[in-house]
Structure 1
Amino acid sequence: MRLLLMGPPGAGKGTQAVDLATSIGGAHISTGDMFRENLANETDLGKLAKQYMDAGQYVPDEVTNGMVRNRLAEPDAAAFVLDGYPRTADQVVELDDILASLGAKLDGVISLVVEDREELVQRMIKRAETSGRADDTEEVIRHRQDVYDAETAALVPLYRDHGILHEVDGIGTIDEVAARIAAVVDSLRG
């Protein structure tokens, strides 16, 4: 099974994606992890990404897409949960192309829905306090919400039009949200 888990920052994607990948017997593929791995291993893509990051610039899609292409071609990625990619409409097209080149397609897109923006901000502030992420200031957190709204939220109607979007209420305990996701996965398995 090949799934994409999406939702605004603070919706619990990272937490749910790890458990979901385990439950489907697939790889958890996080863009953050891919960047860290490519930087640590000093791959050509990692070195290129570092140049942009050191200059305080966004890493261009071509670099991110290359990392995703390489990661999805690995043997453990026959089943996966994508977390953090795609983030833009152009990346949706690229992902479709990558998967088509591998003879695959997404089986489903699960979107965690949290309507209360303040709930998301407070979750992330709490996470920053408990995990020691000093860079996660309230201003930075609110900016990430704005970026999500401006770019990534537009993917919801795209995937709805593809007929593979499943919206899940992201409010509740980790177990409650996981149970809702599991019900979607069960429906996809038919």
Structure 2
Amino acid sequence: MRIVLVGPPGAGKGTQAVRLSEELRIPHISTGDLFRANISQQTELGKLAKSYMDAGNLVPDEVTIAMAEDRMGQPDAENGFLLDGFPRNVSQAEALDELLENENVTLDAVLDLEVPEDEVVKRIAGRRTCRNKSEHVFHVTYSPPKKEGVCDVCGGELYQRDDDSEGTVRKRLEVYHTQTEPIIDYYKAQGLVVTISALGPVDEITQRALGALKRDEDAK
């Protein structure tokens, strides 16, 4: 299967992408991973992307598209892939269509993880991170520490990252609504969008997604 995963920040795309790629036995292609891999390996695309990032500028679509094209052309993606974070806007979606058309393949589905905006804010703004170990993350509602403000693992101070503040989250949502959400209508016109609720336990959402994808595939 060839799938694009979309949804607002805080929808759990990263978690579901890993689970779905394992269940469907297709590679999870994340934009973040592509950037990190190309930069660490110092590829020409990585050097180009880093030059924009170091200057505080957005990486142009053509660089992101070229990275995605290179990754989708690798042997493990021959029979399918799950794209996470790409395409990020309609221009990238059009470029992806062109790339796939050149390979005589098509997308099977665009899985839209639907989460109410207030829930997104609650999920992200409730995160608390350990100052000693950044991988130790708690949540004031869903996974609170035993002692408020103190990491259960190492005793470090828990704090709210600037990226997790409510104001920043709402700005990220504005960017999503403006830039990324239009691709849902773009793909709806092609009959590719499968929408599921991303509320509830992680395992339940995964099974919900797999069921929806199977029903969509059977209906075609």
Question: Matches of 1:77 and 1:68 in 2, distance apart?
Answer: 11
Question: Matches of 2:190 and 2:127 in 1, distance apart?
Answer: 34
Number of aligned residue pairs: 189
What is the Cα deviation at residue 127 of structure 1?
4.3
What is the Cα deviation at residue 103 of structure 1?
1.9
Does the CA contact (< 8 Å) of 1:86 and 1:95 recur in 2?
yes
Q: Which residue of 1 aligns with 2:110?
A: 109
> Is 1:8 aligned with 2:8?
yes
Map Cα deviations across residues 60-102 of structure 1 (whole Å, 9 max, x no partner). Answer: 0010000001011001112111000101110011001111122
Task: Give the alignment's TM-score, normalised by structure 1.
Answer: 0.94
Q: Which residue of 1 aligns with 2:94?
A: 93
Q: Which residue of 2 aligns with 1:37?
A: 37
Secondary structure at the aligned position of 1:166 is classed as strand
Q: Which residue of 2 aligns with 1:64?
A: 64
Higher Rg: 2
> Is 1:141 aligned with 2:142?
no
Secondary structure at the aligned position of 1:118 is classed as helix
Unmatched runs of 5 consecutive residues or more in structure 1: none
Q: Which residue of 1 aligns with 2:186?
A: 158
Q: Which residue of 2 aligns with 1:173?
A: 201
Does the CA contact (< 8 Å) of 1:73 and 1:102 recur in 2?
no
Does the CA contact (< 8 Å) of 2:3 and 2:82 recur in 1?
yes
Q: Choose between structure 1 and 2 for higher RCO, CA contacts under 8 A separated by at least 6 residues.
A: 1
One-letter amino acid of the structure 1 residue matched with residue 174 of structure 2: D
Unmatched runs of 5 consecutive residues or more in structure 2: 130-136, 139-158
Map Cα deviations across residues 83-142 of structure 1 (whole Å, 9 max, x no partner). Answer: 001011100110011111222110000101112x12102212344631788352313322
Does the CA contact (< 8 Å) of 1:128 and 1:136 recur in 2?
no
Secondary structure at the aligned position of 2:163 is classed as coil
Secondary structure at the aligned position of 2:181 is classed as helix
Q: Which residue of 1 aligns with 2:134?
A: none
One-letter amino acid of the structure 1 residue matched with residue 45 of structure 2: L
Question: Matches of 2:216 and 2:41 in 1, distance apart?
Answer: 36
Question: Matches of 1:161 and 1:184 in 2, distance apart?
Answer: 19
Q: Per residue, is there more helix in 1 or in 2? A: 1
Question: Matches of 2:63 and 2:111 in 1, distance apart?
Answer: 25
Does the CA contact (< 8 Å) of 2:127 and 2:164 recur in 1?
no
- The 3 A distance-change label for structure 1 pair 122 and 40 is same
Map Cα deviations across residues 42-64 of structure 1 (whole Å, 9 max, x no partner). Answer: 10010000011011110000100
Structural mapping, 1:17-56, within 5 Å: 17-56=17-56
One-letter amino acid of the structure 2 residue matched with residue 106 of structure 1: L
Q: Which residue of 1 aligns with 2:118?
A: 118
What is the Cα deviation at residue 143 of structure 1?
1.6
Does the CA contact (< 8 Å) of 2:108 and 2:217 recur in 1?
no
Identity %: 42
Task: Give the alignment's TM-score, normalised by structure 2.
Answer: 0.81
